[in-house]
Structure 1
Amino acid sequence: MSNWFKRNSVHFAVVAFFVAISFAYFFTPLIQGKVLSQHDVMQAQGTQKEIMDVREKTGKAPLWTNSIFGGMPSYQIWTEYPSNITTYVIKALKVVFPNPVDTVLLYLLGAYLLFCVLKLNPWLAAAGAVAFTFSSYNFILLDAGHANQALAITLFAPILAGIILTLRGRFALGAVITAFFLALEIRSNHLQMTYYLLFAVIILVIVELYYAIKAKQTTPFFKAFGYLAAATVLALAVNAGSLWTTYEYGKETNRGQSNLTKHTREPSTGLDKEYAFSWSQGITECFTFLIPNAYGGSSGSEALGNNSNVAKAFIAKGVPPEQAEMFVHQSGYFSTYWGDKRFTSGPFYFGAGVCFLFVLGLLIVKNRIKWWLLATVIFTMLLSFGRHFSPLSDFFFNYVPLYNKFRAVESILAVASLCFPILAFLAVKEVIEATDKTELFKKLKLALYITGGITLIFIIAPDLILNFKSPQHQDIITGLSQALQGDTSFANSIAQGLVLDRIDLARHDAIRSLIFIVIVFGLIWAFINKKVNVTVASLLFLAVTLVDLWSVDKRYLNDSKFIVKEDYKQPVKPRQIDEFILRDTDPHFRVLDLSGGNPFQSAEASFFYKSVGGYHAAKLKRFDELIDMQFSKSINQDVLDMLNTKYIITRNDKNEEASMQRNQTACGNAWFVKSVKFAKDADEEMQAISSFDPKNEAIVDQRYKSFITEKGVAPDPNATIKLVSYAPEHLVYESGSTASQIAVFSEIYYDKGWKMLIDGEEKPYFRADYLLRAAQIPVGNHKIEFIFHPTSYHVGENISLAGSILLVLAIGGVAFMENKKKNKA
């Protein structure tokens, strides 16, 4: 055992270093007991509120919630998968390390494994891990609260490590590593990032197959492929519960088939192309890989102070400096980011030194892995351009399976952010192993001329490459001119000042990048000339890379982004009107909160109510269509009534105070209708609910005609139906009537798990009013129940349990075999 510790002492030192820098980055807020304030996490807290309340009360999280969009499955919100072994792995990590230290540490450790598999010495592997981890996008994700996306990216490197090990002949070990980390990747529940990683894996397999055919070594390749296929099947089995429910639910969401064919902005299938490509990387915006502020950094005016050219333009007109700075930051006109994304939290910065080494790697690395990395970088860059590179993007959007299900195509650059440091530090490895120092120095200088030359152009004449004007530049001038009472000359001088400020930001960062390029060049020169040894050089590469990326990351994720725990636990405080509405003892009603802007882009109301609105990227397609057709231009009162919207909250534009009105025409939890009107299709159904009397008539698709007998619509003025027990997954009603009745329930229709029981016996139900549940209720007094028990989840969990047991056995078996081999050696 002591020999084992001794052999691995350097690895332990590296891990200790990783833990130290992970805590050091967040040191001040952590010792102050603060937590990271993340916008999307706060929205998720609202979305999860009912789920967590039920879990705390009963010990079990429901699979359905009525907190947002009238009701939806909780699969993509928060769901327990207790049969999945990876659930406990993630829990354990979060128990030991605080957020976001745990995520940063996962980035570092996963990447370190990959670089060790690529046979870099430990400290050089650590430098590569730091280069990937501290790439700016990873920290921007943490700041935004895209926790699942960040977790998915942390697992890119170890998955690739397992695949490469398998392809290099370590079949069992590589396959088990692949299966374990791929299972974690799928469990992270961000299929978009997993999908993007698949592209990189496909390119790697193609490159490996080409070289296997060329070397006439196809047998080992196909053996490795078989092991990897088995590892993939095992990882899928471990996640059967989540994958099955996601697949089933996905077809019913805004990423699935459209129900409407007329008068709709919804695409026939998948996402709207404009929406999917709204966050496309600008082609020249890729200069940010090398120069972080080439495009002005993040949206907003934080970088502009009293010394900015914009502020000086105001001061020159006699505006006091304090007022000038206040106007710059509060007017909304002066964003330093000038690309055409709607907004951005920051650039993709890979590190100046890393970019220099990447170019050097293209020139000197002989390993065939170079061609995989280059092809992957080019491919992911082209796809990230989205609407700016239509031929490829449109082809993938229209013809490649699943591609049109995802938005924000720029995020595929997360794959490139891993490829850059891999090739960069393979270049350093090549330098260490090189014998022809003369030829090496020539290529080293060429890499310097290329990367240093770009930074020099940005320093000397940045506007030769870029114009630093946003697509809204003229609109800004027009708006300023109106605000300045028609003073167009002044407006133009302010706008020109903004352009000059953007140029200054780019120039300063270009100088900064050139300094790091020269430092890295100097380190390699020193090593070539035997001024430093391998260990010292590796440590210096690690230090320079960390300083470079750390300082840029601090622009976007810093101490100011942390808040006290009390505010985190309750980020949305109840207002007086909230406290009033919460006194209502009705167990189940909905609220439409218009006081905070678009209610369908905010989950704040869900902290307190079952909301008509909400915030989620995967809402049910029918509800998405309802928003588009019934709420986008004006609020349809009839639809609010059928959704049992009991309270409507608005805001007074003059004093900005919220006010509430009770909706007296809300239909309630369930009601009997007097008549049924059949619609031939979804278009006619949607048109019918645009103006109807939901309390008295039901609009039903003609496909459900067989669910209703002729005696089903026999109005009984004394008939009653009411909700007597509420739980998200189990609703109980009592009814009484002297004739068979058609009941409409103010609950979202979703037939992939909801079952209706009448007096304990399962009975059919159907859809009415475009997205509600309805059923024919027989004469007499009855107990009616709706129970959510999806087969996809429960059977999927059984498969997950079997897969988890197999994975644990496989890990144990391979560990035993590997230990046995080492003992024999």
Structure 2
Amino acid sequence: MKNWFNRNATHLAIIGIFIAICLIYFSPAWQGKVLIQSDVTQAQAMQKEIMDFKQEDGKGPLWTNSMFSGMPSYQIWVSYPKNIGTHIMAGLKGALPYPMDVVLLYLLGAYLLFNVLRVKPWLAAVGAVAFAFTSYNFIYIEAGHANKAYAIALFAPVLAGILLTLRRKYLLGAGILALSLALEIRVNHIQVTYYLFIALLILIGIELYHAIKEKKVQDFIKAIAYMAVASIIALAVNAGLLWTTYEYSKESIRGKSNIASETKGSEQQGVSKEYAYQWSQGVGESITFLIPDAYGGGTYNKLDGNSNTAKVFSNKGYSIDQVPSNLFQMYWGGKPFTSGPWYFGAVVIFLLVLGLFVVKNRLKWWILSATLLSVMLSWGKNFTFISNIFFDYFPLYNKFRAVESTLVVASFLIPILAILAIDEIIKNGKTIEKLDKKIIYSTAIVGGISFIVWALPDLFFNFQAPNHSEWVQYLSQQLQDNSFGQALGNALVQDRIGLARGDAFRSLIFVLLTAGVVWLLAKNKMKATTATIVLGVLVIVDLWGVDRRYLNKDSFVEKSQAEQIFFKPREVDNLILMDKEKDYRVLDLTVDPFANANPSYFHKNIGGYHAAKLMRYNELIERQFSKSINEDVLDMLNTRYLITNNKEGTSQSIRRRDRAAGNAWFVDKVTYVKSNEEEMNAIDSFDPKKEAFIHQEFKSKIDEKRLGRPGNSSIELTSYKPDHLIYEYSAPNDVMGVFSEVWYDKGWKAFVDGNEIPILRANYVLRAAQLPRGNHKVEFKFEPQSYYMGENISLIASIILVLALGFAIWRERKTATPVG
């Protein structure tokens, strides 16, 4: 044991430093404080019903009725207990409070990768910090994109496993790949995993080229075979998650439209280009890789009393504190809004450029090509030549929105090449031709850009948002003073210029300091260990300082305070909750009802927020609620309460709707429709209690001879769980029952007294069933095969993964062959 500690003392010391960094940066988390994150609170509101039943039953339901009148809980919260990844991630999250756990995972994963790249431990630690502290890794945390952050953190160990396998460490590499890829998939952010996959395809292509060139095709094929097996195991470990997600995606807005007249067309699948490209990185905005606030930083950066804008207000006798902060936005790029810039670090960018000159490792060409592709794809609508090719022809690419997220690949790869540059100089500095000139060229390029933005900021940028002219005109109209409005517009531009100049000068200083260290290292005036330590300090000071602008102590509040901010019931909520019947739904018009999940925390909501809501329900929203509210549709959705604001928006009131149809009823008449369009049009105006519109595709499941009038009949919901509903009814005749529950044919089953019956679709989005006369019990159970069979596959694959990884580690220790 003592020998083991001696051999691994450096690694253990570095891990200790990583933990210390997390403790210092996130000290409020140790005090029990939590981040104020709008996305997290939205998620908590979405999950409220699920968690309530989980606490009661010990198992979260696979369906929830708290949003959009009902939807699968797959993309909200589902437990996959037979997946080993579930337990590993739970262990990590239990060891450290969030977000320390995810930042430690950033650091440890990258440190593993740099060791696989044969970088010395202390330099590997610098590389880990350079990756971990990239600005958007922290901005994602601040915004509440926890799953995305975990997925990014696992990029490095996935690549480590691939590189080991390609180096003929087949068992160990495949084992690490299987485990890390299983975790990557388990954290369930398919979008960023997909972008990593694109980058890895390029790597495999380059490796194939070199295998052919070096006549090592057999070794390459063997490595691919091991990686293929590892990938299959990782996929199988996540069978339940992937199967349910795939099944659901086809029915969601990421799938095919049901109505030919919809904007996107009936044949097009995936999101629209307009939607996908809404968050596109500006071409010029990529300057933020080097100069963080060149484009104003985050949308909600605040102006202080010393700003030019504040002085203009002061000259008119006003205070900047009296002005709404969202009226004067420092960010002037083309995105609707942004939390902050993609900043990779002035130190890192300098070393990246230097790496292009000095690194001989063929990984350089992969890093360069994959980085350039990720940057060009992030430009989206600003560079459609490349983006449209991928959107139109690359499989699954059109399923994802916010294309700027492709920059997660660049933010991962750029620090790798930066550290490889220093590693090359340390190991082979004496043999690098014209190293002096290469350092000077790199300084001139990176330092020159910083100098130009500092000295001549308006040479290439105008610092005006796309809507600047309209904004100035609006100000002038509101202030009834054109000169005042124009002065404010000019002052805001000057404030943006000042911000850009300040950060440009800041970056210039870091570039010059880094160049000086590298120069001294190249000239043997500074030892490698000293240079590594100094570079590590420069990296962490540089990135830490920018990250603190967007994620700092002020981002944390006491847990009780956070709950009061987001989940304190209003008087109207309390009044509605006094209704003893719990089978009704609510439409909250005090918020954007179909883009806000908070009402779901208290009520069964016909609205909500989700990036992948059911397509059929989304079409209902677009057609029946976008222009005006269709009261008949509210009736069939059993909407008993509307919450509205008064004219001034200072208070809320409720309107009780006595005409809500209830959770189930029997209709007098069934009318068949020939198309989805006809079915949607039919519910424009109708009485849902009397008539049901059913698509003719279900006609064969209906016995028309038994379609009688309900007469003196009744039906009542007697037991409620989101994924198990029980009704009891009495009817003198065979009847057609309509249920105010969303139709989804991938797992719902219906039973009358234990005997399964067909479920029909009525009124475009609801369930219906033909029921026999008499007194009976009707049950609806959500039992998707994709989940239950997928979980069994996950269990088997998890056992195989543990055994395979254990064997690989045992074999590696037995052979005792050094890595690489």
TM-score range, shorter chain: over 0.9
Q: Structure 1 residue 427 and structure 2 residue 421: aligned?
A: yes
Report deviation, 1:30.
Answer: 3.0
Report deviation, 1:653.
Answer: 2.3
| 3-state DSSP of counterpart to 1:294 | coil
Q: Structure 1 residue 397 and structure 2 residue 396: aligned?
A: no
Amino acid at match of 2:18: F
Residue correspondence of structure 1 range 699-738 to structure 2 within 5 A: 699-738=693-732
Q: Structure 1 residue 278 and structure 2 residue 278: aligned?
A: yes
Q: Structure 1 residue 445 and structure 2 residue 432: aligned?
A: no
Amino acid at match of 1:782: H
Amino acid at match of 1:291: I
- Per-residue CA deviation, residues 600-659 of structure 1 (Å, 9 max, x unaligned), is 111111111111011111111011111111111111111111000111111112252111
CA contact (8 A) 2:257 2:264 kept: no
- Match in the other structure for 1:195: 194
Amino acid at match of 1:38: Q
Residue correspondence of structure 1 range 243-642 to structure 2 within 5 A: 243-262=242-261, 264=263, 268-302=268-302, 304-317=303-316, 319-320=317-318, 323-327=319-323, 330=324, 332-433=326-427, 434-436=429-431, 439-485=434-480, 487-569=481-563, 571-595=566-590, 597-642=591-636
- Per-residue CA deviation, residues 326-351 of structure 1 (Å, 9 max, x unaligned), is 32xx1532111000100000000000
Residue correspondence of structure 1 range 116-155 to structure 2 within 5 A: 116-155=115-154
Report deviation, 1:569.
Answer: 4.7
The structure-2 alpha-carbon separation of the partners of 1:488 and 1:814, relative to structure 1 and needing over 3 Å to count, comes to same
CA contact (8 A) 1:301 1:334 kept: no
Amino acid at match of 1:452: G
Moved more, 690-699 or 349-358: 690-699
CA contact (8 A) 2:295 2:331 kept: yes
- Match in the other structure for 2:51: 52
CA contact (8 A) 1:753 1:789 kept: yes
Query: How far apart are the structure 2 equivalents of 1:331 and 1:164?
Result: 49
Residue correspondence of structure 1 range 137-176 to structure 2 within 5 A: 137-176=136-175
CA contact (8 A) 1:264 1:629 kept: no
- Per-residue CA deviation, residues 264-292 of structure 1 (Å, 9 max, x unaligned), is 46673211210111000101110000000
Query: How far apart are the structure 2 equivalents of 1:270 and 1:524?
Result: 48
Please report the TM-score for the alignment, with normalisation by the length of structure 1: 0.97
Amino acid at match of 2:80: Y
The structure-2 alpha-carbon separation of the partners of 1:154 and 1:614, relative to structure 1 and needing over 3 Å to count, comes to same
Moved more, 537-546 or 341-350: 537-546
Query: How far apart are the structure 1 equivalents of 2:213 and 2:523?
Result: 38
| 3-state DSSP of counterpart to 1:745 | strand
- Match in the other structure for 1:7: 7
Quote the RMSD (CA, aligned, Å). 1.4
Please report the TM-score for the alignment, with normalisation by the length of structure 2: 0.98
- Match in the other structure for 1:91: 90
Report deviation, 1:824.
Answer: 11
Query: How far apart are the structure 2 equivalents of 1:262 and 1:526?
Result: 67
Query: How far apart are the structure 2 equivalents of 1:594 and 1:418?
Result: 42
Amino acid at match of 1:340: G
Report deviation, 1:301.
Answer: 4.1
Query: How far apart are the structure 2 equivalents of 1:659 and 1:116?
Result: 62
Residue correspondence of structure 1 range 28-39 to structure 2 within 5 A: 29-39=28-38
Amino acid at match of 1:6: N
Query: How far apart are the structure 1 equivalents of 2:137 and 2:817?
Result: 40
**When the two structures are aligned, how many residues end up with a matched partner?**
816
Moved more, 366-375 or 566-575: 566-575
Query: How far apart are the structure 2 equivalents of 1:514 and 1:401?
Result: 42
Amino acid at match of 2:451: L
Amino acid at match of 1:12: L
| 3-state DSSP of counterpart to 1:601 | coil
Query: How far apart are the structure 1 equivalents of 2:524 and 2:86?
Result: 50
Query: How far apart are the structure 2 equivalents of 1:464 and 1:209?
Result: 45
CA contact (8 A) 1:676 1:700 kept: yes
| 3-state DSSP of counterpart to 2:383 | helix
- Match in the other structure for 1:73: 72
Moved more, 738-747 or 646-655: 646-655
- Per-residue CA deviation, residues 742-793 of structure 1 (Å, 9 max, x unaligned), is 1100000011110000110111111000010001111111110000111000
The structure-2 alpha-carbon separation of the partners of 1:824 and 1:163, relative to structure 1 and needing over 3 Å to count, comes to closer
CA contact (8 A) 1:468 1:499 kept: yes
CA contact (8 A) 1:587 1:726 kept: no
Report deviation, 1:566.
Answer: 1.4
- Match in the other structure for 2:18: 18
CA contact (8 A) 1:266 1:625 kept: no
Where does structure 1 lack aligned partners over 5 or more consecutive residues? none
- Per-residue CA deviation, residues 97-148 of structure 1 (Å, 9 max, x unaligned), is 0010000000000011111111111111011110110000010000000011
CA contact (8 A) 1:437 1:528 kept: no
Report deviation, 1:712.
Answer: 3.6
Query: How far apart are the structure 1 equivalents of 2:674 and 2:275?
Result: 30
CA contact (8 A) 2:135 2:344 kept: yes
1:672 pairs, out of 661, 666, 687, with 666
Report deviation, 1:300.
Answer: 2.2
Where does structure 2 lack aligned partners over 5 or more consecutive residues? none
- Per-residue CA deviation, residues 428-479 of structure 1 (Å, 9 max, x unaligned), is 0111122136611110100000001100110111111111110110111111
The structure-2 alpha-carbon separation of the partners of 1:760 and 1:31, relative to structure 1 and needing over 3 Å to count, comes to closer
- Match in the other structure for 2:240: 241
Moved more, 578-587 or 557-566: 578-587
Report deviation, 1:416.
Answer: 0.3
Query: How far apart are the structure 2 equivalents of 1:71 and 1:557?
Result: 35
CA contact (8 A) 2:599 2:605 kept: yes
CA contact (8 A) 1:333 1:476 kept: no
| 3-state DSSP of counterpart to 1:435 | helix
1:657 pairs, out of 638, 646, 651, with 651
- Match in the other structure for 1:209: 208
Query: How far apart are the structure 2 equivalents of 1:111 and 1:695?
Result: 61
Query: How far apart are the structure 2 equivalents of 1:189 and 1:418?
Result: 19
| 3-state DSSP of counterpart to 1:11 | helix
